[in-house]
Amino acid sequence: MPMADKRFLPRQMDFESMVRVLVEEHRVMEAGLARVEAAATRGDFHAVAAALEQVDPVFRQHIADEESQILRLLIGELGVKGAEAEIKVFQQHRPIYRLMQLVAELASKSASELADEQCRLNELFHKHTGLEERGVFPKALGTFQEQRKRRA
């Protein structure tokens, strides 16, 4: 079940530019989560919440594009079976988002739990972006180029 937000519509740009933008956004969000980590470490709960608030709209626009544009292409070209692994990777979006919300809540409650969950969030996020950059995106680009060749 995709969690793409209705308020975040797919961006209009060509497919290859979109993938480049998505990779750049991984770095932007990782930098944001590093700020969350630094703030959590020094016990600055206000800064934890502020950094997460900056990541939030980037993440939601990002997954709106992944779940519409990338996934739609893969399923359209390869079928649900052929895109099974990629669907699984995108199913991490919801748990990642829940964890972001949990970390934001913990920021005002429990320093030790905050540190644990924030660690878990960063780990999960890095794993996720790695799977996309090494697996999902190259496959999507290859599939896109195949489609373009066929249609040419």
- Positions touching Fe ion (CB under 5 A) are 66, 132
Taking the least distance from each CB to Fe ion, the nearer of 21 and 47 is: 21
At 101, phi and psi to the nearest 5? Answer: -65, -40
Positive or negative: CA dihedral 36, 38, 40, 46? negative
Judged by beta carbon, residue 10 or residue 44, the one nearer Fe ion is 10
Is the CB of 15 or the CB of 45 nearer to Fe ion? 15
In the bound complex, what is the minimum distance in angstroms from residue 31's beta carbon to Fe ion? 14
For the bound state, the minimum distance from the C-beta of residue 129 to Fe ion, rounded and expressed in Å, comes to: 6
Residue type, 55: V
Q: Check if the beta carbon of residue 25 is closer than 8 Å to that of residue 58.
A: yes
- Tell me how far the alpha carbon of residue 131 is from its chain's centroid: 11
Of residues 70 and 106, the one with the C-beta less far from Fe ion? 70
Which one-letter DSSP state was computed for residue 137?
Answer: H
Smallest gap from Cβ 92 to Fe ion, in A, equals 7
To the nearest 10°, the Cα dihedral for 63, 102, 37, 30? 0
Q: How far is the CB of 27 from Fe ion (least distance, A)?
A: 11
